[in-house]
Amino acid sequence: MEPRHRLVPPTASPRLRRLARELADFVDAGLLDASTAERLLAHAAARRSGARATTLLAVAGSALVGLGALLLVAHNWSELPRLARAGLAVAIAVAAHGAAAFAVA
């Protein structure tokens, strides 16, 4: 695998570039031969294209479920007791902060 990133274009995903670096390190350490490393990298690059569509569908599905829940709450908002409305507002704020903390960590 000389030069170290020969098979990875500069526009490749960070995951693919990291894999190329790790495979090059394995080749340098004698743990893997260069032809196997090249085949592994080619396999990972080919597999990535399908994962993008799956991720897009998962995000779209999650967004639709979230919008459905939002519509359900919005439709019944006036019928909820004041304490339930306040609790729901606080729960949403706590969940948003928790999701942001999880995403950063």
Alpha-carbon dihedral sign for residues 72, 76, 82, 84: negative
d(CA 54, CA 48): 10
Residue that is written with structure tokens 């019928």 in the block: 79
Burial of 41 by CB count in 10 Å (0-12 exposed, 13-18 middle, 19+ buried)?
buried
Per-residue confidence (pLDDT) for residue 2, from 0 to 100: 47
Domain spans of the chain, in order of start: 14-104
pLDDT digits (tens, 9 = 90+) for 30-58: 999 999 999 998 888 877 666 778 889 99
Query: What is the identity of the amino acid at 65?
Result: V
Predicted local distance difference test score (pLDDT) of residue 27: 92
pLDDT value of position 4: 53
Greater pLDDT, 45 or 81: 81
The confidence band for 67, taking pLDDT boundaries of 50, 70 and 90, is very high
